[in-house]
Structure 1
């Protein structure tokens, strides 16, 4: 693969670290839903951000099936319509995998702009399923969540790629 100038060569991602971050994001989501804000509409879905991140960076390890399973876990936790988050996360995973090669050519801030439509479409899909099943419109603050998720993309990118950036055997005389 041809790399962009200035792009750092990364070590392979540890599967244990990938699963730890996904389970950690699920735990944080569950905590945020029970915490101070309750189920506030504007709270970003950290699990969706981490799922999209790993679907972009490790599409052979984290795919649509993993997104579906985590979506079911979120449905059960929130007491939502079973399959609501599973559908949204599956769509997120599919589109993240389909655009992963193109997305990795851009800098991280540009990536955040390009994943914003993914997050908006997932939230619109969640809202449509909720409205079709007899729910109420959550308000316009609901559309603040995808913007916050896209704003979290650079932070998540730095944090989740940090273990891959270290040199396996650091040496002052070796440029890699």
Structure 2
């Protein structure tokens, strides 16, 4: 039987993922919609890097499937890309932990490019350079996300 601390720890991870999903659903003005960071990817990447035994490929797939349903996209596209992103991070999590934040941000850049590339290729959105802005904003936001989620993890003793 799980203790109260163990069950609370899992709830913290779930709550951060729910907040990230809600941030993806917040309506933005037309001029700002291109600059929305990939909140869910950043949150999944953090948890997969910090606690790969708790946030695995299956969690990435399930969160991606939920995002497919809520965003109304082709079923399985985000599920595949999120699961693949979690796989990449989990595969190299020991190395990534040793990198300084700026190097981690470059790694996040490549992971977000892969996730975003899958969604851009499969969608019928307009072809403009602005569709790549979420990659840049996510990369620039990584140090803040990392610090915030690390503070949450340490405050609630998520392990």
Range into which the TM-score falls when normalised by the shorter chain: 0.7 to 0.9
Equivalent position of 1:16 in the other structure? 11
> Would you say 1:52 and 2:41 are equivalent positions?
no
Post-superposition Cα deviations, 1:88-133, rounded to whole Å, max 9, x if no partner, equal 1111111111111110011122211122111111111111222xxx
Which structure features the higher share of helix residues?
Answer: 2
Q: Which runs of 5+ in 1 are unaligned?
A: 1-11, 169-176
For residue 33 of structure 2, give the secondary structure of its aligned residue in structure 1: coil
Out of 125, 133, 153, which is 1:144 matched to?
133
Give the total of aligned pairs.
150
Q: Which runs of 5+ in 2 are unaligned?
A: 1-5
Equivalent position of 2:89 in the other structure? 96
Superposed, which structure 2 residues align to 1:121-136 within 5 Å? Answer: 121-130=114-123, 135-136=124-125
Length-normalised TM-score, structure 2? 0.84
Length-normalised TM-score, structure 1? 0.76
Cα deviation, residue 47, structure 1: 0.7
| Contact 2:38-2:112 at 8 Å conserved across structures | no
> Would you say 1:40 and 2:29 are equivalent positions?
no
